[in-house]
């Protein structure tokens, strides 16, 4: 087995996500838009905003990670690229993981980098905490993309599968959402919450590619 | 090079075909025949390992090229980018400029696939056959959308491939343009 097909799949997915026109901007806009609506809805009392901010950001992050995922495997089914990747001589799970990782780099990482700006809007203290926050959103977002990728692979042959992806992926987001918001609060479990978050992301990285591979084989069948 | 025995498959509640056996040896070309919906594409997908048959087995002893009825081009990909990507994926150091020239794709080599004509997309897909030497070619309606010139080029490729000991299994409607070793009718 050679790693070359995996690298090529990664490169193609990078090109594809930029060529879509919106690239990273679509999920970024969604993320910001969803988070900005909240203060407008619940009022601007600083103490309350500070309390709900991290939770709102997790919810917005989860939803905006779903925005780009609909097309990542569906397009491959439609244009025949999936058939080529399945016969490329590399493990399908590795190819699926490479594609999902490429999409996280172009859409998920910018979300994490933008989170300090939104956190400030929710009256978070300016400081080093904002950067650790971005790191935590980045780690959690990676899990969101991999579980979302499972939903995308399962609904690859379904037209207008976006809602279906959400239905499949959102339950899988639960551990990340729990550990993630605990890590942001930092209180309840002390320092173990970020580790639990990282562990749940590692689990997603280990398990999701095999689920995606099985779903993609089924999609081509 | 490839032997398939007693293949059968269900599509929904219906038996699409059953008891299909075929084999292909170096230098041979097997042509799959059948009406629309008879299962030619499905049979090719089984031979390529994409679809799992309900009965029978496929013994594939050689690497293969796949040209499906969907070309596998991304809308933003240019023919040159497409060939470069797959050359990298397959670890081939083929001369992409020469391949583009041979397939008559020099002029549109930098045009995104969404602006290419169906024939140009088909030529790009067929150009993959030259990237990497693989003994077995699985072709699904390879002549679709090709003009007379493109047809000649493909026939030359096929003749060349068979002369150097390659084998071909192709689903074709109408005149194949080359001498088939065998025909399998579904």
Which domains does chain B possess? 1-63+136-186 (3.40.50.300), 72-133 (no CATH)
Q: What's the complex ipTM?
A: 0.93
Cα–Cα dist B16/B8, whole Å: 7
Statement: residue A23 has pLDDT above 70: no
Mean pLDDT of A11-16: 89
Q: How confident is the prediction for chain A on average, in pLDDT? A: 88
Minimum Cα–Cα distance from B91: chain A residue: A4
Supply φ then ψ for residue A98, to 5 degrees: -65, -40
Q: Which residues does chain B have within 8 Å of residue A88's beta carbon, measured at their own beta carbons?
A: 89-90
Chain B CB contacts of A19 under 8 Å are: 74-76
- State whether B88 and A8 contact (CB < 8 Å): yes
Mean pLDDT confidence for A171-193: 82
| Closest C-alpha among A150, A132, A167 to residue A205 | A150
Inter-chain residue contact A8 with B86, CB threshold 8 Å: yes
The residues with which A211 forms a beta bridge, in sequence order, are none
Owning domain of residue A10: 4-220
Q: Which residues of B touch A75 (CB under 8 A)?
A: 74
Distance CA B148, CA A190 (A): 73
Beta strands in chain A (DSSP E): none
Residue of A nearest to B92 (CA): A4
* B73 contact residues in A (CB cutoff 8 A): 79-81
Yes or no, beta carbons of A19 and B75 under 8 Å apart: yes
Do B89 and A16 lie within an 8 Å CB cutoff?
no
Q: Do A205 and A97 contact (CB within 8 A), yes or no?
A: yes
Size of interface A-B (CB pairs under 8 A): 71
Average pLDDT of the residues in A35-55: 86
Q: What residues of chain A lie within 8 A of the CB of B138, using their CB? A: none
Residues 6+ apart with CB under 8 A from A190: none
Write down the pLDDT at residue B180: 86
Least confident of A19-23, A109-113, A159-163: A19-23
- By Cβ distance, the residue of A79, A86, A221 closest to B73 is A79
pLDDT at res. A189: 55
Q: Are B51 and B45 in contact (CB under 8 A)?
A: yes
pLDDT profile of chain B (186 residues), mean per 10 = 91 89 92 90 93 92 92 92 94 92 92 93 94 93 91 93 94 86 88
Please answer yes or no on whether A80 and B72 come within 8 Å at the CB atom.
yes
Q: Which residue has the tokens 């025995």?
A: B5
**Which pair of structure tokens corresponds to residue A138?**
């980045």
Confidence (pTM): 0.91
Residues A46-103: tens digit of each pLDDT? 888 888 888 889 999 999 988 888 888 998 999 999 999 999 989 999 999 999 999 9
Q: Rounded CA gap, B56 and B38, in Å?
A: 18
The number of domains in chain A is 1
| 3-state helix/strand/coil string of B85-120 | HHHHHCCCCCCHHHHHHHCCCCHHHHCCHHHCCHHH
């Amino acid at each position: 087995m050679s790693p070359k097909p995996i690298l090529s799949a990664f490169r193609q997915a990078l090109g594809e996500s930029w060529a879509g026109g919106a690239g990273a901007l679509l999920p970024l806009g969604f993320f910001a838009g969803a988070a900005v609506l909240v203060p407008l809805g619940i009022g601007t009392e600083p103490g309350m905003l500070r309390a709900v901010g991290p939770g709102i950001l997790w919810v917005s992050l989860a939803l905006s990670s779903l925005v780009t995922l609909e097309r990542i495997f569906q397009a491959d089914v439609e244009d025949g690229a999936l058939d080529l990747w399945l016969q490329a001589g590399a493990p399908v799970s590795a190819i699926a993981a490479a594609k999902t990782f490429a999409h996280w780099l172009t859409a998920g990482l910018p979300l994490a980098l933008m989170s300090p700006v939104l956190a400030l809007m929710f009256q978070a203290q300016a400081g080093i905490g904002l950067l650790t926050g971005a790191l935590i959103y980045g780690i959690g977002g990676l899990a969101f993309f991999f579980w979302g990728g499972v939903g995308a692979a399962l609904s690859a042959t379904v037209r207008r599968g976006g809602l279906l992806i959400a239905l499949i992926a959102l339950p899988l987001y639960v551990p990340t959402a729990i550990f993630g918001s605990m890590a942001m609060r930092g209180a309840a479990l002390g320092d173990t919450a970020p580790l639990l978050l990282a562990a749940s992301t590692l689990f997603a990285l280990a398990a999701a590619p095999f689920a995606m591979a099985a779903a993609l084989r089924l999609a081509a069948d | 090079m490839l032997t398939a025995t007693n293949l059968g498959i269900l599509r929904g509640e219906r038996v699409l075909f059953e008891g299909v056996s075929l084999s292909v040896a170096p230098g041979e070309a097997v042509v799959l025949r059948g009406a629309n919906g008879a299962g030619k594409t499905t049979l090719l997908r089984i031979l390529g390992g994409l679809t799992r048959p309900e009965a029978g087995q496929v013994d594939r002893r050689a690497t293969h090229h796949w040209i499906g009825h969907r070309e596998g081009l991304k809308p933003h990909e240019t023919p040159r980018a497409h060939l470069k990507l797959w050359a990298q994926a397959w670890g081939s150091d083929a001369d992409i400029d020469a391949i583009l020239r041979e397939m008559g794709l020099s002029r549109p080599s930098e045009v995104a696939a969404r602006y290419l004509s169906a024939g140009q997309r088909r030529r790009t897909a067929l150009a993959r056959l030259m990237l990497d030497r693989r003994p077995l070619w699985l072709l699904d309606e390879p002549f679709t959308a090709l003009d007379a010139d493109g047809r000649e080029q493909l026939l030359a490729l096929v003749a060349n491939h068979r002369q150097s000991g390659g084998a071909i299994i192709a689903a074709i409607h109408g005149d194949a343009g080359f001498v088939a070793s065998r025909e399998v009718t579904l």
